[in-house]
Structure 1
């Protein structure tokens, strides 16, 4: 029986990248799709598929794909391409249908999984992008085999409606478009129109056309029409007579005092709701009062002198008129054959009209007031007006009630412009909509009898940006000019640090340098989020969400982000770009997770930071690591090298050549007095500091912190810090618990030298072991019996590979006399004792091969392991604790120290220790 194609395309995995990522320089959606049997059916083998999909998504004809020309994707469809690729382009086309300008995408096979593809495409709105992906897959399956329950027109309309619900309104979008054109970053702070422009201390907020500079008092004044009129009148500005009433009869008496005709409107209304014009007598006022009160929140109704003339909106931004529009009430024009109702339906079918403010025009709403107005003009809704007859459906010209706009920006009389600007100043609004009623805006209103009838806070922009008649005005420009004057910065410097080991310490060093310069530093690390030296969130905060939290904080003027592999793979960077990217090293750790199986693939992940460096930025790279060295090819900015290699080595020759071309580098120059950190910039060499005088290096013995200091100094130099500030920062940074918790903290406990460190992988253990050897050698005695013991408590995370766990144990055994194996609190999918068992295997193998270690023990609980190590340690011994919960460990060590100081006897077993948790020893005592 011949096989036939079946609708097997499915989404197995979905990721949303909110910044630069391994697939794209910008935010993207990543799908892993399974084609199933469709792997054997490219598009040219599916009859009618190409014609049908082009009919449903005609925008695909514009896609260039890899051909680089219009229609390139159509060529690929005819030649035959796989349906994962079709899903990518369909998701892009669907987003383009709703006005999202996205064109980036790629489809690549999943290595080792035939029929599975990575489908990656850009997005503007995350939820719309995800909905587009789901609909694209359903559409492709439907075209392979028709689904009777799949109604394309209904599905497309539902998708468009969904997109419109989350879309920014025309006013907000206009401001964002202007901000993007000026390279001002923005963040959406809620699902509506609250948006942050800029970062950190430079951030400004907008909500539609209200800004962070908009006065709350001014908004309250504008909302109180009676108070607004009083203030404008006191300033000598033309305003209509008006009184505020709460009862019908009081309104009638007020109308008689003011003189007919009058206007009734809610005191606290907006968008023209409840505004009733042409009230000629007491009966009109009584009927209008009820309609106006229905739109009032507080029940107060304004009775106002009716000014006869055209309706004009003057938009004032930062004290100056930015645009003027004439507003024409909603109406239809008879064609001699259609009823009023049909004419309204035809007008609402205009694609420019939508619900509320979602489009440039609002649909005409036929309510009781509209029906009454049509009747007053001599028509019923079912009547056919003569050809050319003008039928009004609203009395006010508000766009929100279906009106249209005509641009009059350059026609207004200068005196009217001055009046509008003075009105905005009197109310105190930075962005104001001044409503004029006058016969002609080109003539002075004081002479023609016009007046200001209303001052609006948060005025809409769409009547100016998308006028029905006339030229659009680019009014977002003065708004952004007001928030970010020419020359003002909108970004804070961002230094991002990555690497297999040393990220946290290097990030802390950089932060410490800039804190010493008086900067308000926001830092993310595996320990949490720190804002200006205060830990605000205690958790693993090395991911993109924490970075966005820092960028939202209004106190931060400098950001330092520790960036881990997991966050990049999960969500991307979470920000657009970093001014300085620091890559310390790439070692085999976390392999076998999220499709990263080789150290080269891991290097590709960490290189995302380098790719996110702009042309005027810097990549600080460890020249001693071949994989890091290769990242120079991915950097758009300048490369700053750092190296621990000695002069004359191949790496140093490469760095010297780099500096001869004007480049920058930090290197170590050895001498009889020690090692000097030297800054090289072009032909110049500047001495920075002796490594043995930096507290974090333990007299130069902690080689990992020598490397971290080089990376931190290079990053600070690239970010513009003066050398004396870098020097002072490094000299005052130590690995005490308060500056660097859990990173090489040294504690003296009753004569026992205890080192607390977060070492958790084999490469880190190799560096820690080197430090232990150097420290141990300095403590060595000439008599073997008096030789201090080295006791190591080690562990690793459960998501490492088995061979990585064994390697950790094998390396530790080379450097410690006694190894105590514990486990983390979170086993990450492993059974209790499984991780420790694998580490123990590595230790025992090393012991059998003649390693330094002579004894290995298993104490699974972290605190119990500490107690056990301390109970067997003698004065002068070195205990190294590789921690999981460093705060709990330091508290336990403090308890031991307090007991010793109080003279309390310490038994051979720690207080509260459970002997059952201490397993038997391996090796000789």
Structure 2
């Protein structure tokens, strides 16, 4: 259609416009009412239009895609069976396309429900951004996608313009705050200076430095992780003392993700993600590490494949849950539990494939917003304030969530603050009611619309 419209601009103006329009209308009626396979009449000369398209393509050096379009158009002009009406002809029954229409409607209905969480037409974008787009459209905001690959949006109402990246990065956060949260060492130092509990540990910039540290931690529970990566990439957790070989492998995995690595004490307890927006905790998620449960018949590899069949699981943060992988970290975890990927897992036996519970590495999400004690929500909000973060995820390890958290005895440890906390996992949970986050972000950005 674009090429057709441009070709009309390319052509010379029509003389005797009224007469030409009347003749064109009559010709259009004649062709439209004829049988779909009837050849075009002689007066329907398309040569000038085709030549204009050809000259346009050559003049502007358009991609070969346009040459292919023109080739298909020429073929359809010679063979009416290739036109849209010609292609629909076999589906007409008793002068009606009703059966064909119903079949297509059912097909599109099935397609819509294969991923009801997705905004159709925008599935290539990260799911949190899709959700924000949907809510912005529902709210009546003007929307422009500035960069689809970078998840960069422009939203505006009247003269009020807001730019949003990744669904939650906005003008409300100053530039340095996401950079600080991306650096786990900086995050720990800021929180520790504000008297919040963080794990002890050391930072290394080479494999040799990290290996030299082994005598100090060989009898301890530890976590090995990249300094500045997100989504749980490259993290290895040892709840039992690691062998030198396993420790080396963990360091190699972490260094493959970043130029610096942290080795920290392992904090026992349950990990929760708190989503904080503008000084208030809006959602709490229990994240269960990637795992499978045996049935006595299938191997670990087969159980992973079965679990990955869940329609909620996908890749690259385009689905509420991520596909479970069997990579180096997962195989290392299996080995520590005495299993290999092709071993049949006994019925009822659960094996963890990750120690870190990130949804982005195959974990399961459970909404516990209503059951979490308010003291922990307040603590998470205070940590975000200490960082100066407007929107972020706060990851807390809590040994006993029934115990109240106080300033003197917080009863938890903060292992990370996340500047890109994947809001979708709070909304579309594996278990629990879920919490709508993106409408609250839009309400904060455009208060004049409420």
- Normalising by structure 1, we get a TM-score of 0.37
Give yes or no for contact 2:184–2:416 (8 Å, CA) kept in 1. Answer: yes
Structure 1 position 441 matched with structure 2 position 417: no
> Given the superposition, is the C-alpha separation of residues 374 and 281 from structure 1 closer, same or farther in structure 2, using an over 3 Å criterion?
closer
Q: Match for residue 478 of structure 1?
A: 440
Separation (CA, whole Å) in 2 of partners of 1:316 and 1:245: 31
Q: Match for residue 111 of structure 2?
A: 97
Separation (CA, whole Å) in 2 of partners of 1:245 and 1:42: 68
Q: Match for residue 532 of structure 1?
A: none
Structure 1 position 324 matched with structure 2 position 338: no
- Give the CA deviation at 1:425: 1.2
> Given the superposition, is the C-alpha separation of residues 197 and 385 from structure 1 closer, same or farther in structure 2, using an over 3 Å criterion?
same
Q: Secondary structure at the match of 2:267?
A: coil
Q: Match for residue 92 of structure 2?
A: 43
Give yes or no for contact 1:214–1:429 (8 Å, CA) kept in 2. Answer: yes
Q: Match for residue 191 of structure 2?
A: 232
- Give the CA deviation at 1:247: 2.9
Structure 1 position 423 matched with structure 2 position 380: no
Q: Match for residue 241 of structure 2?
A: 280
Q: Secondary structure at the match of 2:340?
A: coil
How many pairs does the alignment contain? 366
> Given the superposition, is the C-alpha separation of residues 195 and 362 from structure 1 closer, same or farther in structure 2, using an over 3 Å criterion?
same
Aligned counterpart in structure 1 of residue 222 of structure 2, from 242, 259, 262 = 262
Deviations 1:583-630 (A, max 9, x none): xxxxxxxxxxxxxxxxxxxxxxxxxxxxxxxxxxxxxxxxxxxxxxxx
Separation (CA, whole Å) in 1 of partners of 2:400 and 2:201: 23
- Give the CA deviation at 1:354: 0.9
Deviations 1:147-194 (A, max 9, x none): xxxxxxxxxxxxxxxx74x3x332122222332332222222222321
> Structure 1 regions of 5+ residues with no counterpart?
1-5, 14-31, 46-79, 103-123, 129-162, 490-925
> Structure 2 regions of 5+ residues with no counterpart?
1-34, 39-45, 50-81
Give yes or no for contact 2:225–2:236 (8 Å, CA) kept in 1. Answer: yes
Q: Match for residue 81 of structure 1?
A: 96
Structure 1 position 195 matched with structure 2 position 153: yes
Q: Secondary structure at the match of 1:44?
A: coil
- Give the CA deviation at 1:471: 0.9
Separation (CA, whole Å) in 2 of partners of 1:200 and 1:257: 61
Structure 1 position 222 matched with structure 2 position 181: yes
Separation (CA, whole Å) in 2 of partners of 1:480 and 1:184: 10
Give yes or no for contact 1:357–1:400 (8 Å, CA) kept in 2. Answer: yes
Q: Secondary structure at the match of 1:203?
A: strand
> Given the superposition, is the C-alpha separation of residues 170 and 99 from structure 1 closer, same or farther in structure 2, using an over 3 Å criterion?
farther
Q: Match for residue 144 of structure 1?
A: none
Higher normalized contact order (CA 8 Å, seq sep 6+, divided by chain length): 2
Separation (CA, whole Å) in 2 of partners of 1:243 and 1:407: 33
Q: Secondary structure at the match of 2:159?
A: helix
Q: Secondary structure at the match of 1:468?
A: coil
Q: Secondary structure at the match of 1:338?
A: coil
- Give the CA deviation at 1:312: 0.7
Q: Match for residue 171 of structure 1?
A: 128
Q: Match for residue 54 of structure 2?
A: none
Map 1:343-358 to 2 at 5 A. 343-358=303-318
Tell me the C-alpha RMSD between the 2 structures: 3.3
Separation (CA, whole Å) in 2 of partners of 1:274 and 1:478: 32
Structure 1 position 246 matched with structure 2 position 208: no
Q: Match for residue 424 of structure 2?
A: 462
Q: Match for residue 26 of structure 2?
A: none
Aligned counterpart in structure 1 of residue 260 of structure 2, from 297, 300, 304 = 300
Point out the structure with max Rg over C-alpha: 1
Map 1:740-759 to 2 at 5 A. none
Give yes or no for contact 1:412–1:443 (8 Å, CA) kept in 2. Answer: no
> Given the superposition, is the C-alpha separation of residues 381 and 203 from structure 1 closer, same or farther in structure 2, using an over 3 Å criterion?
same
- Give the CA deviation at 1:412: 2.2
- Give the CA deviation at 1:413: 2.5
Give yes or no for contact 2:275–2:391 (8 Å, CA) kept in 1. Answer: yes
Separation (CA, whole Å) in 2 of partners of 1:363 and 1:172: 20
Separation (CA, whole Å) in 2 of partners of 1:195 and 1:255: 46
Separation (CA, whole Å) in 2 of partners of 1:470 and 1:293: 36
Q: Match for residue 362 of structure 2?
A: 402
> Given the superposition, is the C-alpha separation of residues 37 and 401 from structure 1 closer, same or farther in structure 2, using an over 3 Å criterion?
closer
Give yes or no for contact 1:226–1:243 (8 Å, CA) kept in 2. Answer: no
Q: Secondary structure at the match of 2:93?
A: helix
> Given the superposition, is the C-alpha separation of residues 423 and 360 from structure 1 closer, same or farther in structure 2, using an over 3 Å criterion?
same
Give yes or no for contact 1:242–1:304 (8 Å, CA) kept in 2. Answer: yes
> Given the superposition, is the C-alpha separation of residues 394 and 253 from structure 1 closer, same or farther in structure 2, using an over 3 Å criterion?
same
Give yes or no for contact 1:411–1:441 (8 Å, CA) kept in 2. Answer: no
- Give the CA deviation at 1:482: 1.3
Separation (CA, whole Å) in 2 of partners of 1:461 and 1:216: 20
Map 1:754-765 to 2 at 5 A. none
Separation (CA, whole Å) in 1 of partners of 2:285 and 2:423: 10
Structure 1 position 360 matched with structure 2 position 320: yes
Map 1:54-73 to 2 at 5 A. none
> Given the superposition, is the C-alpha separation of residues 390 and 197 from structure 1 closer, same or farther in structure 2, using an over 3 Å criterion?
same
Map 1:707-856 to 2 at 5 A. none
- Give the CA deviation at 1:443: 2.5
Q: Match for residue 141 of structure 2?
A: 184
Q: Match for residue 60 of structure 1?
A: none
Aligned counterpart in structure 2 of residue 311 of structure 1, from 271, 274, 281 = 271
Separation (CA, whole Å) in 1 of partners of 2:250 and 2:302: 28
Separation (CA, whole Å) in 2 of partners of 1:383 and 1:267: 34
Q: Secondary structure at the match of 2:272?
A: strand
> Given the superposition, is the C-alpha separation of residues 7 and 426 from structure 1 closer, same or farther in structure 2, using an over 3 Å criterion?
farther
> Given the superposition, is the C-alpha separation of residues 261 and 184 from structure 1 closer, same or farther in structure 2, using an over 3 Å criterion?
same
Aligned counterpart in structure 1 of residue 296 of structure 2, from 336, 355, 358 = 336
Give yes or no for contact 2:115–2:312 (8 Å, CA) kept in 1. Answer: no
Q: Which runs of 4+ in 1 moved over 6 A?
A: 6-9
Q: Secondary structure at the match of 1:189?
A: strand
Separation (CA, whole Å) in 2 of partners of 1:305 and 1:407: 27
Deviations 1:246-267 (A, max 9, x none): 2345335556657821211111
- Give the CA deviation at 1:44: 2.0
Separation (CA, whole Å) in 1 of partners of 2:372 and 2:134: 28
> Given the superposition, is the C-alpha separation of residues 434 and 86 from structure 1 closer, same or farther in structure 2, using an over 3 Å criterion?
same
Separation (CA, whole Å) in 2 of partners of 1:211 and 1:194: 10
